[in-house]
């Protein structure tokens, strides 16, 4: 009997991987990933980084002083993306014309600010608003110019530079016993933290998306077997528990294959010459990867998967027709969404009561505990308790789901009520 499980896993896996829908979905997603990863590069290409800096006109008018300071600042800062072009006088028309002709990206004009006599009001005019990068640049440049103009010669250049330097605000988690040594994190530790953040984020998205995808696959398979009545033959051949777990494991393997394909696509894309610089830009390096976070993450990923999968199988068995499935799996989808969002929203505050409590609730533990492990601190015994709770709930819900499965697959027509299910479940061994 026990080798039945292997037979079912093999059959489920082989036939799922071969289906057109699976091949197409995987291919489409792989293409989307490839496109998504190369979009930043293409945007850079098309936004014309090559044809010199964007020219910003300056309508000096009443702001002669400011315009000169801006030019000085731009020259000193060495920024290659933007350059200022002075237009003397008050006539706005030539500037407008140049913007129209594409000679200028836009222009700045200076107006008297009735509320503030020390510095004029600056207006940017251009076709289609101001981009994020330009806005940041102009803000910084004007702030510098303002400081320099107000301070005049009262301060030295060093003092002005010091004033303009942003204040550094670091957070230090006091519960981190080991890191209580003052002075904050070293460079290495900071990088590890960023890497942990990336790992946790990535694992949560992986957990959520593969759970949704494979979960729906499981439910759909069960419903299809039920509606084609092949279930009647299967139930008389194999124990429902074997049948259910054979299916779940088979589809889990399908999911792993899909993830592996995506992984290869991601790595291949990262190795493209245009993307090689990206990782360095974010100061990410695989050597900073925290192995224990990854291992715990995978452990929670697997047990979490099985917990959700048995529920999907149970729901699939209750529904008679594939069309009704979407509605029936809603509650489980909601549960998955809750787990995902609790994790995502707590990633920057891993010490709240919410995340502590949810890290012990089996359905939310895979994400909540992962956040605590990766981003905060958590004693090992708490991790183990959470894992143990998950395993126990897999056994409990697995058993319950197998009962529902055994009962549900023979119920046709309308969806059975809880009362009917309970009554029928008492009758069947699994």
Partner 1 sequence: MVSLQLDHVFKQYGEKTAVNNISLQVEQGEIYGLLGANGAGKTTTMRMVLGLIYPDGGEIRYHGKPYSNELTRVMGYLPEERGLYPKIKVSEQIVYLARLRGMSKQDADKSLRYWLDRFEVPEYYDKRIEELSKGNQQKMGFIAAVVHRPQILILDEAFSGLDPVNVELLKATVKELRDNGTSILFSTHRMEHVEELCRRITILHRSNTVVQGDIKEIKSRYPREEVVLHTVGEVERLESIPGVKSVERNERGYQIKIGTPDTAQLILQHAMAQTAVERFEIKEPTLNQIFIQEVGESNE
- Binding letters toward partner 1, positions 15-54, x by CB under 8 A: x---x-----------------------------------
Q: Does 235 bind partner 1 (CB under 8 A)?
A: yes
Element (H, E) at 55: strand 54-59
The dihedrals phi and psi of 416, each to the nearest 5 degrees, come to: -70, 150
Residues that bind partner 1 (rule: CB under 8 A) add up to a total of 24
Which residue's CB is nearer to partner 1, number 128 or number 413?
413
d(CA 109, CA 100): 17
Q: Does 151 bind partner 1 (CB under 8 A)?
A: no
Q: Does 236 bind partner 1 (CB under 8 A)?
A: yes
DSSP 106-174: EEEEEE--TT-SSS-EEEEEETT---HHHHHHHHHHHHHHHHHHHHTTSS-HHHHHHHHSPPP-----T
Q: Does 319 bind partner 1 (CB under 8 A)?
A: no
Q: Does 272 bind partner 1 (CB under 8 A)?
A: no
The two tokens of residue 320 are: 């008679």
**Rg of the Cα atoms in the chain:** 30
DSSP at 359: T
Helix axes 187-227, 365-375, angle to 10 degrees: 170
Cβ atoms of 32 and 79 closer than 8 Å:
no
Work out which of 118, 132, 171, 228 binds partner 1, going by CB under 8 A: 228
What is the closest distance, in whole angstroms, from the C-beta atom of residue 412 to partner 1 in the complex? 10
- Among 90, 96, 177, 105, which residue's Cα sits nearest to residue 138? 105
Work out which of 72, 239, 356, 415 binds partner 1, going by CB under 8 A: 239
Which residue's CB is nearer to partner 1, number 1 or number 178?
1
What is the closest distance, in whole angstroms, from the C-beta atom of residue 331 to partner 1 in the complex? 27
Work out which of 33, 151, 234, 361 binds partner 1, going by CB under 8 A: 234
- Binding letters toward partner 1, positions 410-429, x by CB under 8 A: x----------------xx-
Q: Contact residues for partner 1 (CB under 8 A)?
A: 1, 4, 7-8, 11, 14-15, 19, 225, 228-239, 410, 427-428
């Amino acid at each position: 009997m026990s080798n039945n499980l292997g037979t079912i896993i093999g059959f489920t896996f082989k036939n799922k991987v071969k289906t057109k829908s699976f091949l197409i979905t995987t291919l489409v997603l792989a293409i989307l990933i490839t496109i998504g990863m190369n979009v930043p590069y293409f945007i850079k290409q098309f936004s014309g980084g090559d044809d010199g800096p964007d020219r910003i006109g300056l309508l000096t008018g009443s702001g002669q002083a400011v315009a000169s300071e801006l030019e000085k600042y731009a020259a000193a800062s060495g920024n290659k993306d933007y350059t200022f072009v002075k237009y003397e006088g008050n006539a706005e028309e030539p500037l407008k014309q140049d913007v129209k002709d594409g000679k200028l990206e836009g222009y700045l004009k200076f107006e008297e600010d009735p509320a503030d006599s020390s510095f004029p009001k600056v207006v940017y005019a251009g076709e289609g608003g101001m981009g994020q990068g330009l806005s940041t640049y102009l803000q910084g440049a004007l702030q510098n110019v303002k400081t320099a103009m107000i301070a005049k010669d009262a301060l030295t250049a060093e003092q002005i530079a010091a004033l303009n330097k942003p204040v550094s605000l670091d957070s230090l988690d006091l519960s981190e016993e080991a890191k209580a040594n003052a002075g904050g994190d070293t460079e290495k530790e900071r990088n590890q933290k960023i890497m942990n953040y990336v790992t946790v984020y990535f694992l949560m998205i992986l957990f959520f998306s593969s759970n949704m995808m494979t979960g729906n696959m499981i439910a759909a398979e069960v419903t299809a077997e039920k509606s084609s009545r092949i279930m009647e033959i299967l139930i008389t051949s194999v124990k429902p528990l074997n049948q259910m777990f054979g299916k779940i494991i088979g589809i889990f393997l399908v999911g792993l294959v899909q993830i592996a394909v995506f992984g290869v696509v991601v790595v291949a894309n990262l190795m493209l010459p245009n993307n090689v610089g990206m990782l360095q830009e974010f100061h990410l390096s695989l050597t900073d990867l925290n192995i224990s976070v990854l291992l715990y993450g995978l452990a929670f990923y697997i047990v979490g998967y099985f917990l959700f999968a048995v529920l999907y199988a149970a729901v699939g068995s209750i529904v008679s027709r594939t069309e009704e499935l979407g509605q029936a799996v809603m509650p489980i989808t909601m549960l998955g969404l809750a787990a995902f969002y609790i994790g995502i929203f707590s990633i920057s505050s891993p010490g709240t009561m919410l995340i502590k409590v949810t890290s012990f609730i089996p359905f939310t533990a895979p994400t909540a505990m992962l956040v605590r492990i990766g981003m905060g601190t958590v004693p090992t015994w708490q991790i183990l308790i959470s894992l143990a709770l998950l395993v126990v709930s897999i056994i409990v819900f697995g058993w319950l789901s197998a009962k529902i499965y055994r009962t549900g697959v023979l119920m046709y027509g309308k969806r059975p009520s809880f009362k009917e299910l309970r009554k029928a479940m008492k009758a069947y061994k699994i």
